[in-house]
Every structure is written in structure tokens, then in C-alpha cells.
Amino acid sequence: VYVPIYSDIYNQTRDSRTLLTATLSIRNTSLRDSLFIRKIDYYNTEGDLVRSYIDESIYLRPMESIDYVIEQQDKAGGSGANFLIDWYSRKPMNPLFQAVMVGGLGSQAFSFTTEGIEVYKY
């Protein structure tokens, strides 16, 4: 699953950027089955691997969620950052992969979300 992350956005000009806090949320939507995660990798705008978040597979119990935060001052990702998540389950399910970005300009705060899309290995 590919999840877009905006760790910064352009503000008025290409040279002016606003840093954002981004949270990746992985949610097991099944009431009965576990969701297994093999890989959670964070890539920057240029497509370079910035960091891997897990070294071995983890699982989420039914209805469990897990979050990973890209802190506001973390500039490694950029405006085109993304997570690539490799997951599986023993039975068909539709887990939810979302990101929430939060920031502010002056006295105004804002937030927005993105959703993951399935990508296929070739």
C-alpha cells in the first residue's frame, strides 16, 4: 500500500514552505482476524528510502490500530514523501491506511488526510 505524506507544503512561493506534522494510521477493520505487517518504509520526494519503521513482522489484533508520527521539524521527506506498507492477512479483509497532516500559518491551523492505495509488485 502506498500512502502519500506531506511533511511540508509550499506556501505562496516555491521557496517558502510550511512544515507539517504527519501521522500514519494503520487500522485493522476486521472484527475477527489479525492484520500482519511485514514492512513500513518511509521514502522522500526523490524516492530514496529515509527509514524503515519495523525490522520484523508485526500484527494488529482485530480492531487494533497503530500510528507512526513524522514530527514537524523532520524535513527528510519533503512534499512528495510517502510510506510503502507490505501487509497480509489469513482471510480477506480491507484494512485502512491513512495519513493525517496538521500544520499552522500564523493564528490559523489546518489539517487534511490522505488514503493509501494498493500497489502491486511486478
Averages of pLDDT over runs of 10 residues in the chain (122 residues) are 94 86 98 98 98 97 98 94 97 97 91 95 60
Write the CATH number of the domain with boundaries 2-115. 2.60.290
d(CA 121, CA 86): 10
SS (H, E, C) 16-56: EEEECEEEEEEECCCCCCCEEEEEEEEECCCCCEEEECCCC
pLDDT for 86: 97
Amino acid identity, residue 81? A
Could you tell me the three cell numbers for 6? Answer: 506531506
pLDDT at 88: 97
- At 101 the pLDDT is 97
